[in-house]
Amino acid sequence: MSDFGASSVEISDVTRTFGSQRVLGSISLSIRASSFHCLLGPSGCGKTTLLRIMAGLDTPDTGVVTIGGTDHSRTAAHRRPTNLVFQSGALFPHLTVADNVAFGLKTDRRTPQGEARSRVAEILDLVAMGEYADRRPATLSGGQRQRVAIARALVRRPDVLLLDEPLSALDLALQLRMRRELRRWQQETGTTFVCVTHNQSEAMELADEIAVMNAGVVEQSGSARDLYEQPASRFVASFIGENNIFEKLTPMDEGHTADGLVFPAGRADSLAVRPEAIRLVPADHPASRGPGRVLTTSFTGKSVRVSLRTSTGREVLAELAPGATTAQAGDTVGIDFDDAAVRRFGAAA
């Protein structure tokens, strides 16, 4: 599809305080034009505030928001080249689907009526809601309402489409389907999509790039693969995918230990090993880094998940190929992994 806008977004040193609470502490972030960028983080991390600052619905205390090379830090929401999809959809209850979508074209009066009508029809077709044009929002399902909300924002052909947890109100099956559709709409329009979510699998499936936020700062920004394989902090390691986190690396006579397992020497406050990097060996095997008692085993189809407890009581999750182990609950086995699989965080000085 032609005529859709796409701009980069540059956020520099943006801070925001509500009362005495610092919601955003100096955020800097680059979002490439035509990319799908997710802001991922737990609730209360400031991701929605950052999105609302991009939309112009909130004003940063300090810092600059540049959209497509133009400083928009102080531009009112209704004059920005962005459009926002609200978590609830926020469809106007007194207007039909078609009138909701046409709302943003009538406000600027620059779009001739005939063109507005064809653009509304085109965008409703894109989100597969064409046959519902004359319905009221109250008669639509949650998924249909969200499609209309996205169409209403996209029809204005914004340079940047902002989405605030657009799928979180939907049931899981619908979420999975709409993830693929969101990705497709982004590719077909070529518009820059910035999507806030607390769901890491959603972010990994949707985004070209993910900014992981925690407590008002961006912990790490990168592709899903970067974040999974090279997490820059303990928070990112535990938030993206599953991870076994070990604390307190202590030097001993033979190597260093943490939580009853032997690690290669070095300094770290915490260490992370992915479940799929863990191997189970006989308890007396020389490669064993320490004993683990099997608590449960479960078969998921693609893998066998074994949960173990180390001698210090730390729970460890191992994800093995089906048939890679015969361990049963109650057995004691040896826990093994490659040195290269260990990620270290916060090396103490």
Nearer to other proteins, 55 or 277 (CB): 55
Q: Which of 104, 216, 231, 290 binds other proteins (CB under 8 A)?
A: 104
Are 253 and 280 a contacting pair, CB within 8 Å? no
Is there binding between residue 261 and other proteins (CB under 8 A)?
A: no
Min dist CB 106 to other proteins, Å, is: 8
Min dist CB 114 to other proteins, Å, is: 19
Are 46 and 30 a contacting pair, CB within 8 Å? no
Is there binding between residue 113 and other proteins (CB under 8 A)?
A: no
Is there binding between residue 7 and other proteins (CB under 8 A)?
A: no
Q: Which of 55, 206, 294, 318 binds other proteins (CB under 8 A)?
A: 55
Min dist CB 37 to other proteins, Å, is: 19
Is there binding between residue 156 and other proteins (CB under 8 A)?
A: yes
Is there binding between residue 16 and other proteins (CB under 8 A)?
A: no
Q: How far, in Å, CA of 329 to CA of 341, rounded?
A: 26
CA 119 to chain centre: 31
Q: Which of 3, 21, 43, 78 binds other proteins (CB under 8 A)?
A: 78
Nearer to other proteins, 108 or 171 (CB): 108
Say how many CA atoms lie within 13 Å of 92 toward its Cβ: 13
x-marked contacts with other proteins along 227-256 as a string, rule CB under 8 A:
------------------------------
10 Å Cβ neighbour count for 339? 8
Is there binding between residue 103 and other proteins (CB under 8 A)?
A: yes
Nearer to other proteins, 139 or 326 (CB): 139
Say how many CA atoms lie within 13 Å of 130 toward its Cβ: 9
Total binding residues toward other proteins, as defined by CB under 8 A: 25
In the numeric block, the tokens 């991870």 are attached to 243
User: 55-87 in b/e burial notation, b at 16+ Cβ within 10 A?
Assistant: bbbbebeebebbbbeeebbeeeeeebbbbbbbb
- Nearest Cα residue to 274 out of 225, 248, 241: 241
Tell me, letter by letter, the H, E, C secondary structure of 175-210. Answer: HHHHHHHHHHHHHHHCCEEEEEECCHHHHHHHCCEE
Min dist CB 149 to other proteins, Å, is: 8
- Nearest Cα residue to 239 out of 43, 27, 15: 43
Q: How far, in Å, CA of 175 to CA of 94, rounded?
A: 27
Stretch that binds other proteins, among 81-89, 173-181, 195-203, 251-259 (CB under 8 A): 81-89
Cross-strand bridge partners of residue 64: 12
In the numeric block, the tokens 């032609």 are attached to 2
Q: Which of 13, 61, 71, 108 binds other proteins (CB under 8 A)?
A: 108
Per CB under 8 A, contacts with other proteins among 129-148 are 136, 138
Is there binding between residue 19 and other proteins (CB under 8 A)?
A: no
x-marked contacts with other proteins along 83-102 as a string, rule CB under 8 A:
xx-x-x-x-xxx--------
Is there binding between residue 4 and other proteins (CB under 8 A)?
A: no
Is there binding between residue 18 and other proteins (CB under 8 A)?
A: no
Q: 26: which 2 tokens?
A: 């100096």
Binding interface with other proteins (CB under 8 A): 55-57, 76-79, 82-84, 86, 88, 90, 92-94, 103-104, 107-108, 136, 138, 152-153, 156
